[in-house]
Amino acid sequence: MKKAVVVFSGGQDSTTCLVQALKQYDEVHAITFDYGQRHKLEIEVASKLAKKLKVKAHKVMDVGLLNELAVSSLTREDIPVSHELQDNGLPNSFVPGRNILFLTLAGIYAYQIGAEAIITGVCETDFSGYPDCRDDFIKAMNSALVKGMDRSLVIETPLMWLNKAETWALADQNDALDVVRNETLTCYNGVIGDGCGDCPSCALRQAGLDEYLSNKDAVTTSLLAKQANRI
């Protein structure tokens, strides 16, 4: 039996990864992290989606320590989400160490249930500049988990080289376009579906959707080409 653990926030990217995983694996577990995030509604959204999509199990983990250590606009209500980069070249929504922690805990969970893969929706093509969304980080993290637990495990990143339009095409390919569009939470200001229309996350999401809906054939062809080449 093929098993996978999906790092699941209830947002566009992780939900798209989840619906694909449900077709590719015999048993899919979802793991969501409560770190006192600004858009805490995402935990409720993730729980509803996990139930609707009938995953084998959905684990919500309290990792509040991350909030205490990492100061970001996503961990502090009094820090507005900015459209400008900070002096270090990163957006103020970057939560240092977040994916390091999430993938470590997902790896432990995968070890315990005998899963062969961790699936995460990180992406280097259309992203906010977060260093822990890059392919070289994922490869390094994968190597560390394998060596640290002495067990075969693969971190899969289905969206790594897709742009946002192609990510929408992937949701559609898996018969989940409406679910992803209307029931996920990607907005930094906590608005489900199309979002607030102002924050950087909403702008990226909407631009990708507009491109996909206006050029479905071309975007789908591009997605299929990348899938054929395992990109």
Task: Indicate the annotated binding residues.
Answer: 8-18, 187, 196, 199, 202
Which residues contact residue 46 at a Cβ distance below 8 angstroms, ignoring those fewer than 6 apart?
Answer: 8, 9, 10, 14, 30, 32, 58, 60
Task: Indicate the annotated binding residues for ATP.
Answer: 8-18
Name the token pair of 145: 């988990």
Assign 113 to helix, strand or coil.
Answer: helix
> Which amino acid makes up residue 30?
A
Task: Indicate the annotated binding residues for Zn(2+).
Answer: 187, 196, 199, 202
In eight-state DSSP terms, residue 149 is H
Q: Name the nearest CA neighbour of 28 among 59, 6, 51, 49.
A: 6
